[in-house]
Amino acid sequence: MSEETASNPKATAQAEADAAPAKAEAKKKEKEPAIEDKPFTEFIEQDFTPALKKALLGQGLKDVELTFKKDKLPLAGSSSSEEYWQVNGSLPQGGRQFNLYFLDEDISGKKAFSCSNGGKKPSIIESFMIDERKVNLDLMVLYTLQRLNGQKWLTKN
């Protein structure tokens, strides 16, 4: 009997040692991938566009239309035939529209912004989020709202 109890602690210790790596692997598997790791178009359509629309509605902008498509840069005087993915936003107040361009087809890549009033084509394109090393959904929405607020489209002076 004493021999059996002496071997049980070893068996228990071995079982615990075997279970430790399994627990560590289970913890790693439980962690969901970040939504920003989704394929580019899926992330923009399923996450960014709805989050931006919700944020704009929260700022009091009603009837906001957001579209996501691959198109040419809609700049006045531009003759480039190259197409880029872009989120187009239309605000009915004053025929305002803004465009967020993804030049590298990646949320961490080069991005640009343009806006216009009165339904006209934008005449200036500006770099967008150039200092951010780690881009996530919340930052993209925040920077877009900040840029629109800079145009005084969200609040007045």
- The per-residue pLDDT for range 132-156, each reduced to its tens digit, is 788 899 999 999 999 999 888 887 6
| Mean per-residue pLDDT of the chain | 81
* pLDDT value of residue 42: 93
Confidence of residue 62 (pLDDT cuts 50, 70, 90): confident
pLDDT greater at residue 35 or residue 7: 35
- To which residue do tokens 């006045």 refer? 76
DSSP the chain: -HHHHHHHHHHHHHHHHHHHHHHHHHHHHHSPPPGGGS-HHHHIIIIIHHHHHHHHHHTT--S-EEEEEEEE---TT-----EEEEEEEEETGGGEEEEEEETTSSTTS-EEEEEESTTPPPS--EE-STT-SS--HHHHHHHHHHHHHHTTSSS--
On the question of pLDDT at 111 being above 80, the answer is yes
CA angle (115 as vertex; 146, 94 as ends), nearest 5: 100
Over residues 52-61, the mean pLDDT reads 90
Alpha-carbon separation of residue 7 from 16, 17, 19, 20 (angstroms): 14, 16, 19, 20
